Amino acid sequence: MIGVTAICPLASSRLSSRRFAIRVAASLLLGCPPSLWAVSDLGMHIGRLEGDDWRVQGVRIGLHLLPEAEVALDLEAQQVELIALGETLRGVRFHCRRGTLSKSRFDCQEGDLRAAHPLLGASAFPVNGSWDWATGEFAIGAPELPLASGQIALQIAGGRGTDWSLAAQATGVDLQALALGLARHAAYAKDWQAQGNLGGSLDLEYAAGRGMTLRWNLELGNAGFSAPDGAFVGEGLQVRAKGRLQPPGAAWTGQVALDLERGAMLTPWVFLSAASAPLHAESTFAYDPGRDLLDIDKLHYVHHGIIEWRASARLGLAPGRAVVERLQLRTAPTDPNALYAEYMQPLLAETLFDALHWSGSVELHLEHAETSRAELVLRDLSVAALSSSPAGDGGPGRRPFELQGAAGRLVWTQGGEPEISELTWEAGKLLERVPVGPARLRLRLADDSAVLLEDTSIPLFDGQLLVDEFSLHGSEASGNRLVFQGIVTPISMAEVSAALDWPPLSGALSGVIPSVSYQQGVLQVDGNLLIRIFEGDVVVRNLRLDDLLGVWPVMKADVELKNLDLQTLTGTFSFGKITGRLEGRVDKLRLENWAPVAFDARFATPADDDSKHRISQKAVDNISDLGGAGVSGALSRTFLRSFEEFGYRRLGISCRLEKGVCEMDGIKPAAQGYYLVEGAGLPRIDILGFNRHTDWKVLVEQFDEITRAGPPVIE
């Protein structure tokens, strides 16, 4: 074999890929002396070549003449840098085993290419192609290009001028391998997990005067992904995506369509699932890279049988300050129950709103430009919270709230002229049995606040809740703050006790609700809550509820009882009749999940009570049986049966609850134990208590048995 090295002015030159190819061909075919055509091998070494977006180092070209006018060509490069893509290929070698060469054209019928890159694998892959330097036409084909454990059938072709096209058909591309390869260029993506496969076609065309056009039709099969922090998760995805992108002028325009046929995706904002029905979205858009603007002319989203909406928008995509400059969105009439089940319920797990049932219809209209406006239209809307039982209860549990027949138009504005919103409902319930009557609210929803515009009356049992003030204000620093003030007109305690499954109570309940605030899960009464009941007053101070809407609410308060009528109070229980007045305090009351866990309570006859003090036999027996008490006096129990009631001077009891144990006491110490009732007159009867420490649950059970039992028999 005869080797010839051609010395041509190519080393360290800066050339475009097209000019480089022309220069090499001219050097081999035309620039070499005619005598070289008689040799069988030609070789050329080039130090470095570079263009605007590429750089090649260590180039070697070898041409081998074969029988019957065929040639073999070897083209090697130590390193190829694709600057625009941020990729570097090493050990690149193109070998054409069989080709033909003329003065104006080169064809390679059988060739292969090898390049060291994580996505391409280590094996060489077949390549064919042709180049006519007289006409400028070229074609390169790679029918089995390896990519991320899959294959791509690649075809590149060009013609006169700068026109060219690329067509790729992918099959079985592994998403995990592809993600690992791409993560080298995006540090934030290196810890993402991906699985599944990618297939489909991609076509790229470039024409002088028209620019580039990109078309794609891709499919993801059995795909999944997850972000390092778990904020973005996808599983079992079957996705089809197709679209077109082209730059007719300064802006890129395009169309895209996306179908989610199977699987689910969870993001911080929304949960998408095709378990019940497939999803379809399509859009036309224009992107101006010079101004960093994305105009979405049309966006149509359909989740079949669940929700459909159309939108248009303009997005500013400047680095570090992406903003929505303009938005218009309108939904079709939507079933709120299907919408809630598909999109909201998975995000509300373990909250008060994780089990809601809806009916009716809702629509949403959004507009945003210099000002913002959102309008929510409700038609015959009903919602019920289906709560599970409290921990350890074992029962079915009650519905925390229910609202029926809600309708109206809620309009929120920001920066513009506020509009009046109106909401009405036909009926409602709290805790399943507390009835709420029909009402009408007029509101102003603007910026970060919601304000009730006029006093509102809400029927509650046989009374009214008169709302004087209601407002909600948002703050980035301190969160949302709710303020409420109102009055409860007299409500029959018989209805209240029946609804709450209490022992039957008589009298009426009314009260003044001072300013109540709710902020960051904490409800607090700013002032004293006054409740009028049993012909006396109950004053609640320092009322605070933590985690009110959570799974374990905690209530703290101090309670004072003033001048309660004992006959009205005891007459509502199966406890026995007691006349007189009662006062008392419950300090440091603490309820966890609505069950008492700590308090310091004292109840007694007021010192200045001049009312008639009488106590019935039934009440005597029940008090004496409560907590290990006993009856003492000069008369025997047999003789006591002759009397229906007795007089007393004072009565009282105290309980300091801590760690499930009630530390008990009475109105004064006795020789043994303490006085619960100090008798007066004849026959005189004193009731003593002996147990100082009583299990709280046992005490509650005893009281419940007493109040529910029939009249006792005194022997």
Q: One-letter amino acid identity for 395?
A: G
**What gap in Å lies between CA 468 and CA 516, rounded to an integer?**
12
Most confident of the ranges 96-105, 176-185, 342-351, 452-461: 452-461
**In this structure, what token pair is assigned to residue 121?**
């694998």
Q: Which helix (H) or strand (E) holds 22?
A: helix 17-25
Q: What is the mean pLDDT of residues 11-35?
A: 43
**What gap in Å lies between CA 624 and CA 202, rounded to an integer?**
90
Q: The pTM is what?
A: 0.67
Out of 170-179, 343-352, 516-525, 600-609, least confident range: 343-352
**What gap in Å lies between CA 220 and CA 227, rounded to an integer?**
18
Mean pLDDT, the chain, whole residue set: 82
In sequence order, the β-bridge partners of residue 458 are: 465
**What gap in Å lies between CA 454 and CA 471, rounded to an integer?**
11
What confidence tier does 45 reach under pLDDT thresholds 50, 70, 90?
confident
Q: Report DSSP state, residue 37.
A: G
pLDDT of 22 reads: 43
Collapsing DSSP to helix, strand or coil, 507 comes out as: coil
Pairing between β-strand 420-425 and β-strand 439-446 as defined by DSSP bridges: antiparallel
Q: What is the mean pLDDT of residues 221-227?
A: 90
pLDDT of 164 reads: 79
The pLDDT tens digits for 132-146 are: 878 878 888 988 888
pLDDT of 4 reads: 36
pLDDT above 50: residue 254: yes
pLDDT above 70: residue 29: no
What confidence tier does 353 reach under pLDDT thresholds 50, 70, 90?
confident
Instruction: Break the chain into its structural domains and give their ranges.
Output: 1-147, 542-708
pLDDT of 387 reads: 60
What are the start-end ranges of the E strands in 606-713? 614-616, 630-632, 645-658, 661-665, 668-669, 674-679, 686-689, 693-695
What confidence tier does 42 reach under pLDDT thresholds 50, 70, 90?
confident
Compute φ and ψ for 193, nearest 5 degrees. Answer: -110, 140
Q: How many CB atoms lie within 10 A of CB 714?
A: 14
User: Which residues are CB-contacts of 317 (< 8 A; sequence separation ≥ 6)?
Assistant: 292, 293, 294
Among the listed residues 91, 47, 40, 46, the one whose alpha carbon sits nearest the alpha carbon of residue 63: 40
In the chain, DSSP finds a helix count (H) and a strand count (E) of 8, 45
Start-to-end Cα distance in the chain: 133
Q: How many CB atoms lie within 10 A of CB 578?
A: 24
Q: Report DSSP state, residue 181.
A: H
pLDDT of 586 reads: 95
pLDDT above 70: residue 345: yes
In sequence order, the β-bridge partners of residue 99 are: 71, 108
Let me know the angle formed at the C-alpha of 273 by 269 and 278, rounded to the nearest 5 degrees: 125
**What gap in Å lies between CA 148 and CA 183, rounded to an integer?**
13
What confidence tier does 121 reach under pLDDT thresholds 50, 70, 90?
low
What are the start-end ranges of the E strands in 386-475? 401-414, 420-425, 427-430, 434-436, 439-446, 449-452, 456-460, 463-473
The pLDDT tens digits for 498-526 are: 887 766 677 788 888 888 888 777 888 88
Compute φ and ψ for 344, nearest 5 degrees. Answer: -105, -40
Alpha helix segments (H runs only) across 253-384: 336-339
Residue that wins the pLDDT comparison between 32 and 613: 613
pLDDT above 70: residue 53: no
552 Rama class: left (phi>0) / alpha (psi -120 to 50) / beta: beta
Q: What percent of the chain has pLDDT over 70?
A: 82
pLDDT of 3 reads: 33
Q: One-letter amino acid identity for 127?
A: V
pLDDT of 422 reads: 97
pLDDT above 80: residue 662: yes
Residues 32 and 5 sit within 8 Å (Cβ to Cβ) = no
pLDDT above 70: residue 590: yes
**Long-range contact pairs involving 209-215 (C-beta distance under 8 Å, separation at least 24):** 210/246, 210/248, 211/246, 211/247, 211/248, 212/246, 212/247, 213/244, 213/245, 213/246, 214/244, 214/245, 214/246, 214/254, 215/242, 215/243, 215/244, 215/245
Q: Which helix (H) or strand (E) holds 25?
A: helix 17-25
**In this structure, what token pair is assigned to residue 361?**
């219809």
Residue that wins the pLDDT comparison between 595 and 18: 595
What confidence tier does 451 reach under pLDDT thresholds 50, 70, 90?
very high
pLDDT of 184 reads: 62
pLDDT of 706 reads: 67
pLDDT of 440 reads: 96
Residue that wins the pLDDT comparison between 48 and 261: 261
Q: Report DSSP state, residue 416.
A: S
pLDDT above 70: residue 227: yes
What confidence tier does 583 reach under pLDDT thresholds 50, 70, 90?
very high
Q: What percent of the chain has pLDDT over 90?
A: 36
Q: What is the mean pLDDT of residues 272-280?
A: 89
Among the listed residues 580, 685, 675, 613, the one whose alpha carbon sits nearest the alpha carbon of residue 643: 685
Collapsing DSSP to helix, strand or coil, 434 comes out as: strand
User: Which residues are CB-contacts of 387 (< 8 A; sequence separation ≥ 6)?
Assistant: 352, 355, 397, 398, 399, 400
* The dihedral formed by the CA atoms of 142, 144, 146 and 148, expressed in degrees to the nearest 10: 120
pLDDT of 533 reads: 84
pLDDT of 185 reads: 58
The pLDDT tens digits for 604-642 are: 999 999 999 998 888 887 787 765 555 544 344 555 556
What confidence tier does 708 reach under pLDDT thresholds 50, 70, 90?
low
